[in-house]
Amino acid sequence: MSRPDTDSPVTLESVVLPNLDAAYRLARWLAGNQQDAEDIVQEASLRAIRYFRTFSGGNGRAWFLRIVRNTCYSWRGDKPQAPVDEFDEEQHSNVRDAMNPETLLLHAADVALVKRAMNDLPDRFRELLVLRELEGLTYQELADVLAIPIGTVMSGLSRARHALQGALTRQLGAREQPRHAAAV
């Protein structure tokens, strides 16, 4: 592929900077904690700088997220994975002060339920769901990022959604168990 003919040249900044938030979110879901995600994005950015000369144009977002994904998997080979529950600034910010405490508690419980269910999924399903549902990548962008055929993307997403549904059902069942046990 050649670089698109536009008035402005494709630069590293125009490819990487607009995608840093998406890169962090992907790394956060794959790494499991904020500190590793920050390190992964930093390492991926350095790799993008080092290898930008190999970027032949096209979808810069897919190119950079592929670097993030590959960096995450090489990073995880070096470090043991341990799930970490951490303070979520957005979840606990005062943006929603107008909501009543009961609504906030229910929302927090739902968020925690989805996080636990996502963490129960195999990595390949979690990354498909994060990239498609949270980052909004198209099927073609997913195929580019994951280096798989588009048909595999579609079937993988179907399986991932089914697995998430099963994980959510199991999480809900586990959440309901204590209530039944206390009633007996």
In sequence order, which ranges of the chain are alpha helices (DSSP H)? 12-16, 20-31, 34-51, 60-78, 101-120, 123-129, 139-146, 150-183
Question: 120 and 76 in one domain?
Answer: no
Would you call 73 helix, strand, or coil by DSSP?
A: helix
Question: 164 and 127 in one domain?
Answer: yes
Domain end among 30, 46, 81:
81
**Burial letters 78-95, b for 16+ CB under 10 A, else e:** eeeeeeeeeeeeeeeeee
Q: Give whole-number Cα distances, 140 to 10, 144, 158, in Å.
A: 21, 6, 15
How many structural domains is the chain composed of? Answer: 2
Question: What is the distance between the alpha carbons of residues 178 and 184, in angstroms, rounded to a whole number?
Answer: 10
For the chain, 184 residues long, give each residue's pLDDT as a single digit of tens: 444 444 567 888 888 999 999 999 999 988 888 999 999 999 999 999 998 888 888 888 999 999 999 998 888 775 544 444 454 555 545 544 446 676 766 777 777 888 888 888 998 999 999 999 888 999 999 999 999 999 999 999 999 999 999 998 888 887 666 555 555 4
Question: 118 and 166 in one domain?
Answer: yes
Domain end among 81, 114, 141:
81
**Domain span including residue 159:** 100-184
Q: pTM of the prediction?
A: 0.62
The residues near 39 (Cβ < 8 Å, ≥ 6 apart) are: 75
Residue pair 160/83 in contact (Cβ under 8 Å)? The answer is no
Do the domain assignments include residue 95?
no
